[in-house]
Amino acid sequence: MSLSLESSHARNEPMTERMTGAQALVRALEHMGVDTVFGIPGGAILPAYDPLYDSTKVRHVLVRHEQGAGHAAEGYAQATGRVGVCMATSGPGATNLVTPIADAYMDSVPIVAITGQVASGAIGTDAFQEADISGITMPITKHNFLITNPADIARTIMEAFHIASTGRPGPVLVDISKDALQAETTFHWPPTMQLPGYRPVTKPHSKQIREAAKLIAESRRPVLYVGGGVHKAGAAAELRQLAELTNIPVITTLMARGTFPDSHPQHMGMPGMHGSVSAVGALQQSDLIIGLGVRFDDRVTGHLASFAPHAKVVHADIDPAEISKNRHADVPIVGDCKEVISDLIGVIQASEARGDYADWWTILNGYKKTYPLGYETFADGSLAPQYVMERLSSIAGPEAYYVAGVGQHQMWAAQFVGYENPGTFINSGGLGTMGFAIPAAMGAKMGRPESTVWAIDGDGCFQMTNQELATCALEGVPIKIALINNGNLGMVRQWQTLFYDQRYSNTDLQTTRRIPDFVKLAEAYGCVGLRCERPEDVDAVIKKAMEINDVPVVVDFVVHQDAMVWPMVAAGTSNDDIKIARDMAPKWENEDD
Ligand X SMILES: Cc1ncc(C[n+]2csc(CCOP(=O)(O)OP(=O)(O)O)c2C)c(N)n1
Catalytic residues: 66, 128-129, 178, 491
Nearer to ligand X, 128 or 499 (CB): 499
Report in angstroms how near the CB of residue 329 gets to ligand X at its nearest.
30
Select from 51-59, 111-119, 331-339, 404-412 the region that touches ligand X (CB under 6 A). 404-412
Nearer to Mg ion, 393 or 494 (CB): 494
Chosen residue from 5, 153, 242, 434 binding ligand X by CB under 6 A: 434
Report in angstroms how near the CB of residue 193 gets to ligand X at its nearest.
36
> β-strands 171-177, 111-117: how paired?
parallel
3-class DSSP state for residue 521? helix
Select from 263-271, 333-341, 446-454, 484-492 the region that touches Mg ion (CB under 5 A). 484-492
Buried b (16+ CB within 10 A) or exposed e, 133-149: bbebbeebbbbbbbbbe
- For residue 424, state whether it binds ligand X (rule: CB under 6 A): no
Report in angstroms how near the CB of residue 492 gets to ligand X at its nearest.
5
- For residue 568, state whether it binds ligand X (rule: CB under 6 A): no
- For residue 392, state whether it binds ligand X (rule: CB under 6 A): no
- For residue 406, state whether it binds ligand X (rule: CB under 6 A): yes
> β-strands 15-20, 184-189: how paired?
antiparallel
Question: Which of ligand X, Mg ion, none has residue 276 at its interface (CB below 5 to 8 Å by kind)?
Answer: none
Integer angstrom CA distances of residue 102 from 70, 139, 173, 488: 10, 9, 11, 26
Question: Which of ligand X, Mg ion, none has residue 491 at its interface (CB below 5 to 8 Å by kind)?
Answer: ligand X
Chosen residue from 428, 486, 494, 575 binding Mg ion by CB under 5 A: 486
The H helix count followed by the E strand count for the chain is: 24, 20
Q: Number of residues interacting with Mg ion: please give it, by CB under 5 A.
A: 6
Nearer to ligand X, 232 or 257 (CB): 257
Question: Which of Mg ion, ligand X, none has residue 26 at its interface (CB below 5 to 8 Å by kind)?
Answer: none
Instruction: Outline where 288-404 has alpha helix (H).
Output: 298-301, 337-350, 358-370, 385-396
Q: What character string, x for contact with Mg ion (CB under 5 A) and - otherwise, covers 487-516?
A: -x-x--------------------------
| N-terminal to C-terminal alpha carbon distance within the chain | 43
- For residue 558, state whether it binds ligand X (rule: CB under 6 A): no
Question: Which of Mg ion, ligand X, none has residue 341 at its interface (CB below 5 to 8 Å by kind)?
Answer: none
Report in angstroms how near the CB of residue 460 gets to ligand X at its nearest.
3
Select from 30-38, 68-76, 227-235, 479-487 the region that touches Mg ion (CB under 5 A). 479-487
- For residue 433, state whether it binds ligand X (rule: CB under 6 A): yes
Question: Which of Mg ion, ligand X, none has residue 261 at its interface (CB below 5 to 8 Å by kind)?
Answer: none
Nearer to Mg ion, 341 or 489 (CB): 489
Q: Number of residues interacting with ligand X: please give it, by CB under 6 A.
A: 19
Nearer to ligand X, 99 or 134 (CB): 99
Compute the distance between CA of residue 461 and CA of residue 274 in angstroms, rounded to an integer: 20
Alpha carbon 21 to chain centroid, angstroms: 33
Nearer to ligand X, 345 or 489 (CB): 489
Total Cβ atoms within 10 A of residue 408:
26
Compute the distance between CA of residue 196 and CA of residue 215 in angstroms, rounded to an integer: 37
Report in angstroms how near the CB of residue 431 gets to ligand X at its nearest.
8
Within the chain, what is the greatest distance between any pair of CA atoms? 76
Compute the distance between CA of residue 538 and CA of residue 16 in angstroms, rounded to an integer: 60
- For residue 521, state whether it binds ligand X (rule: CB under 6 A): no
- For residue 460, state whether it binds ligand X (rule: CB under 6 A): yes
Alpha carbon 591 to chain centroid, angstroms: 35
Chosen residue from 33, 418, 432, 535 binding ligand X by CB under 6 A: 432
Question: Which of Mg ion, ligand X, none has residue 405 at its interface (CB below 5 to 8 Å by kind)?
Answer: ligand X
Question: Which of Mg ion, ligand X, none has residue 461 at its interface (CB below 5 to 8 Å by kind)?
Answer: ligand X
Total residues belonging to the chain: 593
Phi, psi of 538 (to 5 degrees): -60, -50
DSSP 430: S
Give CA torsion, residues 536, 541, 543, 549, to 10 deg: 180
**What strands lie across the sheet with 288-292, from one edge to the other?**
267-269, 250-252, 222-226, 288-292, 312-317, 331-334
Compute the distance between CA of residue 360 and CA of residue 364 in angstroms, rounded to an integer: 6
Q: Is residue 273 a contact partner of residue 569, using CB atoms and an 8 Å limit?
A: yes
Nearer to ligand X, 336 or 459 (CB): 459
Q: How many CA atoms lie within 13 A of 72 on its CB side?
A: 32
H-run or E-run covering 464: helix 459-465
- For residue 222, state whether it binds ligand X (rule: CB under 6 A): no
Nearer to ligand X, 246 or 488 (CB): 488
**What strands lie across the sheet with 143-147, from one edge to the other?**
59-62, 36-39, 84-88, 111-117, 171-177, 143-147
Applying the rule CB under 5 A, the residues between 437 and 476 that interact with Mg ion are: 458-460
Select from 2-10, 24-32, 272-280, 456-464 the region that touches ligand X (CB under 6 A). 456-464
Compute the distance between CA of residue 83 and CA of residue 158 in angstroms, rounded to an integer: 12
Nearer to ligand X, 400 or 559 (CB): 559
- For residue 492, state whether it binds ligand X (rule: CB under 6 A): yes
Relative orientation angle of helices 538-547 and 385-396, to the nearest 10 degrees? 40
Q: Is residue 41 a contact partner of residue 411, using CB atoms and an 8 Å limit?
A: no
- For residue 556, state whether it binds Mg ion (rule: CB under 5 A): no
- For residue 459, state whether it binds ligand X (rule: CB under 6 A): yes
Question: Which of Mg ion, ligand X, none has residue 22 at its interface (CB below 5 to 8 Å by kind)?
Answer: none
Nearer to Mg ion, 122 or 492 (CB): 492
Cα–Cα nearest to 544, from 382, 438, 391, 335: 391
Q: Is residue 293 a contact partner of residue 229, using CB atoms and an 8 Å limit?
A: yes
Q: Which residues bind ligand X (CB under 6 A)?
A: 405-409, 432-434, 458-461, 484, 486, 488-492
Which spans of this chain sit near Mg ion (rule: CB under 5 A)? 458-460, 486, 488, 490
